[in-house]
Structure 1
Amino acid sequence: MYIWKRDNMEQTAYEALLKTPRMFSFTQIKNALANASRECLYRVADDRIYKAIPAGQGIYVVEISEAGPEALKLRILQETAVTPQPEVMPEIIRYVTEWFDLDTDLAPFYAMAGQDTLLKQTIDTYSGLRLAGIPDLFEALCWGIIGQQINLSYAHTLKRRIVERYGRSAAAEGEQYWVFPAPETIAALSVPGLKGLGMSERKSEYLIDTARMLAQGKLTRELLQDTGDLKKAEAILVSIRGIGPWTANYVLMRCLKMPTAFPADDVGLHNAIKLLTGMDRKPTRQEVLKLAEPWKGWESYATFYLWRTLY
C-alpha cells in the first residue's frame, strides 16, 4: 500500500506498509542495530530506524517503524518538497526486505537450533532476529577489508571518515544521513588520498583495486549469485588481492545471504563460543568446525546469532 501526502510546504512524507513474515521481531533487529552505536550509515532512536537509501535518481531518508504485529511502516522523510517517482517506494521496499532478510523462512533454522546445545541458548533469547545484511556489495567488501587486523572501534572510525569524505548524503529532520561511496568514486582516488584518512597503504590499494573491479563491471552481485555455489563464489572473491577466506565468507553471508557462508576463523565467533561453553580459552579452528557440523545449511545464521551474544 502506498500513500503520498504532504504534511506542509517544507516537509513531505511518502509511506508504505511492508508485511513481515512469521518469526520476525522488529524489536530484536532494532536492538541489534542499536548496539552498533558507532555505525555511521543508520540511526536508531525512539523505537525507529532511520537510514538513507538510494532509489531512482535520488537518496531518500527512510524512517522504519513497527505497524502492528505483522507489518512495518516505511516513511520517506525529506526536508524540501520532492516529486514522487513511481519506482522509489518499490525500490525502498526491496532494499529493506533484503536488509532485514524478510524472504527467508526461519522455521528450519529454529528446528535445527532447538536441538543444538549451543544455539538453543541464542534462539531462546533472540527469537525473531533476522540476519541484518549489507545490501551494497561494495560497502560489504570495503567493510570486510577495513576491518582486517584492527579493532572494531577503529574500523568504524575509518569507515566514517571514508563515508563523510566521499559518500553522498541527505538531510531530514535536522539530521544528516549518509550513503556509502560509489565504486566509481573510490576507483578514481590515489593511494595517498585514502592514506590521509588513516588507512594503511596496503588497505588503500585493496580498496581502490576492488572499487575499480566493480566500476568496470568485472565483479558484480549477479556474477557471484549466478555461480549458485558457495565455493565457486568464494573462489572468485579470494582471487582478488586483499580478500581472503574470512572476508569472502563475511561478504557472502552479509551481502548475498548465502546460508552456508561461514567465517570459521572469525574472532567474534570464537569469543561467543568461549562465552557460551564456559571454556577457559578460545576454541581451535577444528573445535569450531566440529561444533558447526550440525549447523550445515544454516552456518550464516548460526554465526549471526552467536555474534549477537557479544553485544
Structure 2
Amino acid sequence: MSRHAAIALPAGYRHADAFTFHGRDADALAESVDTHTGRIRKGVLLDGVPAVLDITLHADRAECVVASDGTVADDAVHDALVNMLGLRIDPAPFERAMRDDPLFGPVVARQPGLRVIQSATVFEALTWAIIGQQINLPFAIALRRTFIGLAGRAHSGGLWCYPEAADVARLDIEQLTSRKFSGAKAETLLRFARLVADGALSLARASDAADVSERLLAVKGIGPWTVNYGLLRGWGYADCSLHGDVAVRNAIGRLRGTERPDMRAAEAFLATYRPHRTMAAAYLWASLGQPAG
C-alpha cells in the first residue's frame, strides 16, 4: 500500500540536523539519507505493520510517501514524522532566553534554530538509549544494527524496519549475548521489551514526565541517564537533564574553561536553565563541534 503525507516546516528549518541524526549508520540497514535529493528513508514497524517512510525535505514542507505492507493509521505516520523531523520542541524560547547569556549566547548565535531530532517511536528511543549505555558511538551503532537484524522485519522494498516491543520480547538472551551484547544490556533490553509487550509498562505519549520517569526507573537496568535520553529522543520533553551524559559534561567544562564537572555539579549547572534543559543539552552537544571561545 502506498499513500502520501505532508507536514509543514517552520521558517529557517535546519535540514542538516535531520540528515545527520538519521544518517548515523553508514550501512543504511533501516535508514538511508541522500542529502543531494533531500531524502530520508526510514523503515519502522507501526502497529505491527512494516512501513517505509520516504521523506523529501523542501524549504517549507516535508513530503512523505508511505509504503506499508498493510494498513497503517494516519495518526501513527504523523506521530513518527513529527518525531523524525524534530518538531516537538520549539527552539525559539530557549534562543530568546539565552540572547544575553555569556555561555550559551555565542553558541546559539552560531547555530540558530537547532532542533532536537527524535527517533521515530518512543520504543525505538528507549531501546537505543539502553543499547548506547556506557559504550562509544560506533560500537553502539553496530549493536543497534545487529539488534534490528535480530528483532526487526524486512519491508517488501528491502529496507529493514526497526522492531516493536513484541518482536524484541520473543528473543532469547543468547541471541544477543552471542553477538557482542553484554549480559546486563541484553537482560535490560528483554526485560523492558517484555514489560511493554505485556502492557505492564505504558509508553503513551500523553504521560506526565514525572510518571514516565518513575515507571522507567522501576525497571532493573534503567537509570537516570537512560530515562532522560528516552524523554528527550522519544517523548520530546523540553526539560530533560542530561547531566549524566559525558559529552554534555565535557561541553560544560569547555564552555566554562574548567575541568569537566562531575554529575552533581553538572546537574546544578543545568538546573539554572529550567525549563529549557533539553535545548541546553542540544546546544552543549553542538558546541563540541564549534571553535572554543
Instruction: Give the TM interval when normalised to the shorter protein.
Output: 0.7 to 0.9
Letter in 2 for 1:245: P
Give the Cα separation in 1 of the matches to 2:227 and 2:13: 27
**Gap change, CA 1:139 and 1:77, over 3 Å in 2:** closer
1:35, distance to aligned residue in structure 2 (A):
5.5
Written as runs of structure 1 = structure 2, the 5 A alignment for 1:17-166 is 17-22=6-11, 24-34=13-23, 37=26, 40-45=29-34, 46=36, 47-55=38-46, 58-67=49-58, 69-76=59-66, 91-166=76-151
1:310, distance to aligned residue in structure 2 (A):
3.6
Which residue pairs with 1:254 in the alignment?
A: 233
1:212 and 2:194 matched:
yes
Range moving further from structure 2, 52-61 or 101-110:
52-61
Which residue pairs with 2:154 in the alignment?
A: 169
RMSD: 2.7
Letter in 2 for 1:141: L
1:287 and 2:265 matched:
yes
1:134, distance to aligned residue in structure 2 (A):
2.0
Q: Does the residue aligned with 2:4 lie in a helix, a strand or coil?
A: strand
**Gap change, CA 1:20 and 1:266, over 3 Å in 2:** same
Higher CA-based Rg: 1
**1:21–1:103 contact (8 Å) kept in structure 2:** no
- Runs of 5+ unmatched residues, structure 1: 1-11
**Gap change, CA 1:34 and 1:308, over 3 Å in 2:** farther
Q: Does the residue aligned with 2:260 lie in a helix, a strand or coil?
A: coil
1:102, distance to aligned residue in structure 2 (A):
1.8
Range moving further from structure 2, 263-272 or 97-106:
97-106
Give the Cα separation in 2 of the matches to 1:121 and 1:38: 36
1:53, distance to aligned residue in structure 2 (A):
3.7
**1:112–1:295 contact (8 Å) kept in structure 2:** no
Q: Does the residue aligned with 2:100 lie in a helix, a strand or coil?
A: coil
**1:13–1:75 contact (8 Å) kept in structure 2:** yes
Give the Cα separation in 1 of the matches to 2:48 and 2:173: 30
**Gap change, CA 1:192 and 1:211, over 3 Å in 2:** same
Letter in 1 for 2:63: K
- Runs of 5+ unmatched residues, structure 2: none
Letter in 2 for 1:199: F
Which residue pairs with 2:286 in the alignment?
A: 308
Give the Cα separation in 2 of the matches to 1:40 and 1:117: 42
1:207, distance to aligned residue in structure 2 (A):
1.2
Q: Does the residue aligned with 1:164 lie in a helix, a strand or coil?
A: helix
Letter in 1 for 2:186: S
Give the Cα separation in 2 of the matches to 1:198 and 1:278: 38
Residue 184 of structure 2, aligned match among 202, 208, 222: 202
Give the TM-score normalised by structure 2. 0.85
1:215, distance to aligned residue in structure 2 (A):
0.8
1:250, distance to aligned residue in structure 2 (A):
1.0
**Gap change, CA 1:40 and 1:64, over 3 Å in 2:** same
Q: Does the residue aligned with 2:103 lie in a helix, a strand or coil?
A: helix
Q: Does the residue aligned with 1:44 lie in a helix, a strand or coil?
A: strand
Give the TM-score normalised by structure 1. 0.81
1:60-116 deviation line (CA, Å, top 9, x unaligned): 32222222x3211223468xxx89x6x655542331113223243332121112232
